Chain A
Amino acid sequence: MTTFKSSGPRNQLRTRGFRRSLRKLGPAIFVGVVLSYLFAPVIVTVLFSFTVSPRLSLPIEGFTLDWYKSAFGNPLFVDATMNTLTLALSSAIVAVIFGTSFAFGITSIKGRRRRIALTASLLPAAIPALVLGIALAVFFSGIGSRQGLLNASIGHAVLSLPFVILTMNARLETFDFTTLEAARDLGASPLQTFRDITLPIIRTAVIGAGLLAVALSLDEFVVTWFNIGNEMTIPVLIWGLLRRGIDPSINALASVVLVSLIAIVMVSNRLTNRSER
């Protein structure tokens, strides 16, 4: 260390420090911009579901729960909720049963044929919902199936099947199949092996995949719209309300859907990550 110091190096040091903090700050700012771009509309929706003024305008004059009251008070609301839950549960159960069986099935196939089977099963996720919705509607009318909850439920199951398969396939990659042989060897029948070994080991992943399917079904509109006929779901109700003009009770409904989806996806994520140990 020298005692003599000119002011030059010190200034250089300061600019270098500033540059360094800028270099750190830059990415943070960028991330912030992207996140606000993603979430600003959502935040606005939630915010205006609580405001007194029926118009979406600033400044906010006060807060109220009236819009929630009016949304829940809508005579169609109860019906739509029941239908939405029915669709979500039935399609999730179907998707989980088929998806899990499929994921187990392709573990016995090796190499190129396995990759082809897996890719083919994931394709519905890449097909536009519009195309899928119309295709299903045409197919159902072709086989003489009336539009309704059943058709919509089948449509939802098709939509969530790829995500269930993807989740279960990932889980089975770390699954030790010799444990199943060990159980059989120790005297367990195939059914007992499934009940005592397979199911407990994959249970959390199955529940996680099921919740994902529920989340996908809850807010599905396009496929539902083409196949549900005269029945009502929450997304269909929101769409109907929108046609009559912007009404803050729509914001209230959307906020309810949003909060339930966030909760479900969070639980689903935790379960599928934990089950992979």
Chain B
Amino acid sequence: MNQPGVQIINVNKQFGTHTALHNIDLTIKSGEFVSLLGPSGCGKTTLLRIISGFEEATSGTVQIHGVDVTNTPPHLRSTNIVFQRGALFPHMNVAENIGYSLKLRKLSKAQIATRVEEMLVLVKLEGLGGRGPSELSGGQVQRVALARALASEPSVLLLDEPLSALDLKLRQHMQLELRTIQRQLGATFIYVTHDQTEALVLSDQIAVMNEGRVVQVGSPREIYANPATEFASDFIGEINLLHGTVAETADGLVHIKLTTGELLAGKGSNLSVGQRATLSVRPESIRVNAFNSLDDSKFRLSGRILDIIFLGSRTRLQIEIAEGKVVLADLDDQETVELTIGATVKLSWQIHQANVWKSESGGSQL
């Protein structure tokens, strides 16, 4: 059952002189929940529209279940979209909306009614079949849109930020339901979002996109723990980025001399001495005043506590390690008992929890 559901092979997209997609290669397994994650303008929606057939790739091919659909118009593709704002047909009631694709397939009235009823149960809108779209709440509209897209059993369901218009509570609730529905149906879902939390919660696989390229593909855990680029590490979860130059490389370990003078180490490859580099470490990986944790006593980073912020399950420290350069550290509650604002503390982390990248941005370096 691991045949590719959707295969995107070397797809490029030009809008005039602007290149929206660069050589996209992506294989999405059948039955998986895959997110296309990236900031706005990264090309994720364009890619979704190419898969659905509403945009034509400038070059490259799209295959669905092994069949080349590159030149197939949208109404002949077995993909259905859940649009950002539902796009329900305003002159049809909920049941007619859900049943529209079945009516086009010339199913009998009885068959359509049965299927519509199944769909209403699936999205928990039993009894609302007679309502008009204007009588629905935002969450209900998206449920109907989902039911409408799923009614004809598409081989691939495309979701274009379907929850972005909902408030946080409802969004979180709908995320879990989407996950359940996808597992229940075993369908392939491709989910476009700019919300990294959403992608982490929902996906089997995440494809991180930036500036028209797929930067990294992997499970949420992989991407969180081992981001492939500085962009991926910065975009997913919160992270501290420390800039400097490579001082020494050995066995996958890189020593980096910060612009402020400290010498630190992390995992890294393909770097040479003297190159400008960035070390990244997650706030929850940082320990405060815990000696012996440093693999080598010459790695030292200390700073002054600017603020202590209670976040419920954990406490966040803002630590100024140099003029204007603040590092975030998330600690358990007990660890912070003896800390006070203004105190100077020593920071440490396990070397394998830090990554060193070649600096991507030519921009401001501290």
A residues contacting B by CB (< 8 A) are: 176, 178-179, 181-189, 192, 196-197, 200-201, 277
Contacts and interface: CB of A to CB of B under 8 A. Distances in A.
B90 A185 contact: no
Secondary structure dominating the interface of A: helix
Nearest to B79: A185
A187 B79 CA distance: 9
A179 B75 CA distance: 13
Contact of A185 (B52, B85, B88, B91): B52
B74 interface: yes
Contacts, number: 62
B67 interface: no
B81 A182 contact: yes
Contacts of B81: 181-182, 185
Given A187-B104, A188-B104, A192-B104, A182 B75 contact: no
Nearest to A199: B91
Nearest to A189: B75
Contacts of A189: 75
Given A181-B81, A181-B87, A182-B87, 5 more contacts: A181-B54, A185-B74, A186-B80, A188-B104, A277-B90
B298 interface: no
Contacts of B224: none
Interface string B101-138: 10011000000000000000000000000000010000
B75 A178 contact: no
A176 B74 contact: no
A178 B101 contact: no
B83 A178 contact: yes
Nearest to B77: A185
A188 B91 contact: no
Contact of B85 (A178, A183, A187, A188): A178
B148 interface: yes
A185 B73 CA distance: 9
Given A181-B54, A185-B81, A200 B91 contact: yes
A187 B72 CA distance: 12
30 contacts: A178-B85, A178-B87, A179-B87, A179-B89, A181-B54, A181-B74, A181-B87, A182-B87, A182-B89, A182-B148, A184-B74, A184-B75, A185-B52, A185-B54, A185-B74, A185-B79, A185-B149, A186-B75, A186-B80, A186-B149, A186-B152, A187-B75, A187-B101, A187-B104, A187-B105, A187-B152, A189-B75, A192-B104, A201-B89, A277-B134
